[in-house]
Structures are given as C-alpha cells and as structure tokens.
Structure 1
Amino acid sequence: MEAKGIVAAYFEALSNGEIEKAFSNFIPETKWYQPGNNKFSGLKNNLSEIFQMLEEIMADSAGNMVVKPTGPMLQSGDLVSVPVWFTAKKGTKTMSLGGMDLFQIKDGKIVHVWTFSDDQLVDDAFFGK
C-alpha cells in the first residue's frame, strides 16, 4: 500500500472507533511527538507510550476528543502531511482547532508522527499541566 493509503487507513479506522485496527499501521517502536507545554506534550517512544497518552487524553476530555482530516493528504518522499480539525470538551471548557499531522512511512508502516496545532496556547490552556 502506498504511503497516503496507509495514513488514510489509519484515519478511517480511527473514525470508526477501531483503535486496534488504526494502530496496526504502526510499528511497535513508532515515535510520536506531541507539541506544546501541557501534560501530554513531548516525545512518546513506542506504541505503549502512545496508547497511554491517548487513553489519558480521552479520560481528560470525557471521551469526546475527535480528530478529523479536513483536506488533501500531501506526500513528499516518505512523509505524508494531513490537515486536521480537532475538538474536545471537558466541563465548561471547549476546544476547536485546526492543525497538521505529519507521518513518516517506512516499509508500509507508520514509524514517526508529529502533530501541530494552529494555536498551541489554546491547546495548552485546555489540557493544562
């Protein structure tokens, strides 16, 4: 499968709530960089750390964090970028922001993910330390 197809399969499975299927497109040692200055920021070094972060994000946002692609995937070599929109709510706080996800694909699997927020200060204020 081509690189864009691998990323598309990840987002499709994610949108269907098929978490295990979504992450079957990753290698166990995938690195994920979560930007900003909040309790979820920093480098995650493997699927276990990525899952832990995502579980904590879902718990923190009462299970309603949603990330959806909003435009065409662009590819340059082994990199695929995807514009995304993410929303979340917890208590009276809401967040609705655009961003960009960047994936590195090697040998048909996702090996590195970088996420970017249109307004990191809003993102940081929502999630806190």
Structure 2
Amino acid sequence: MSNIDIAKNYIKAVQTGNQATLGSLISPDVVWHQPGNNQFSGVHRGMAAVGPMLGKMMETSNGTFAITRADHYMANGDWVAITLEFGGEANGIKLKQPGVDLIRIEGGKIAEVRLFSSNQAQEDAFWGH
C-alpha cells in the first residue's frame, strides 16, 4: 500500500468514525502537533495521549466536528500533504474552513501528524481555552 493509499484510508476512517481502522493506521507512538492557542494545542505523544484528546474534541463539538472534504493528496517521501475542509459547531461558533493535514508515514503507520488551519484564531475560539 502506498503512502497516498494509507493517507486516503486514514481520512476515510476519520470521516466514518472507523476506530478499528484508525487504530490499525496510527502508530501507538504517534507524535501529533495540534496548532494554535486552545485547550488542545501542543505536541501530544502516543495514542495514550492522542486518543483521549480526539475524544474530548468530539465531546466539545457534540460530535459535529468533521473533515467535510479532502481534495488533494501529495506525497514527498515519507510525508503526505492533504488539502481538506473541516467544520463543526462548538462554543456558539459554526466552523467551516480549509486546512492542510501533513502526515508522516513510517513502516506503513502514521508516525506524525501536523495540522494547519486557514483561520487559526477562529479555530482557537471554536475549541476554547
């Protein structure tokens, strides 16, 4: 399976909430870089930290947070960049904006995730402090 295929399977699993597939694709030692200045911002190491963070994100958005579109997948060695759109509702804010997910794949697993928002201030207000 190519790195692009892994990235596509990851996005599909996120969109459908397929926890089993996510568990098979994400390394237990993943390094997750959550951008901004909100309650989830920072570097989270390992699924023991990332899993609960993602669960809290879904709780904060009452299950509305989603990747609504993934358009382009571009590979450069171990890295895959994905242009996408994400949105949801939380803290009285309706969020819908483009972004980029940058994932590093090592040994067939997602080892690192870096996320980019087009309007970080809006996303920070969405997630709260």
Q: CA deviation at 1:21?
A: 1.2
Q: Is the 8 A contact 2:28 2:47 kept in 1?
A: yes
State the secondary structure of the residue aligned to 1:116: strand
Question: Following the alignment from structure 1 to structure 2, what is the Cα–Cα distance between the partners of residues 91 and 109?
Answer: 34
The gaps in structure 1 that reach 5 residues or longer are none
**What amino acid is aligned across from residue 93 of structure 2 in structure 1?**
K
The gaps in structure 2 that reach 5 residues or longer are none
**What amino acid is aligned across from residue 104 of structure 1 in structure 2?**
R
| Runs ≥4 residues deviating over 4 A | none
**What amino acid is aligned across from residue 21 of structure 1 in structure 2?**
T
1:73 corresponds to 2:73: yes
Q: 1:8 to 1:100 in 2, by over 3 A?
A: same
- RMSD across aligned C-alpha pairs, in angstroms? 1.2
Q: CA deviation at 1:53?
A: 0.8
Q: Which residue of 2 aligns with 1:105?
A: 105
| Greater Cα offset, 113-122 or 4-13 | 4-13
Q: 1:102 to 1:69 in 2, by over 3 A?
A: farther
Structure 1 vs Structure 2: percent identity of aligned residues?
A: 31
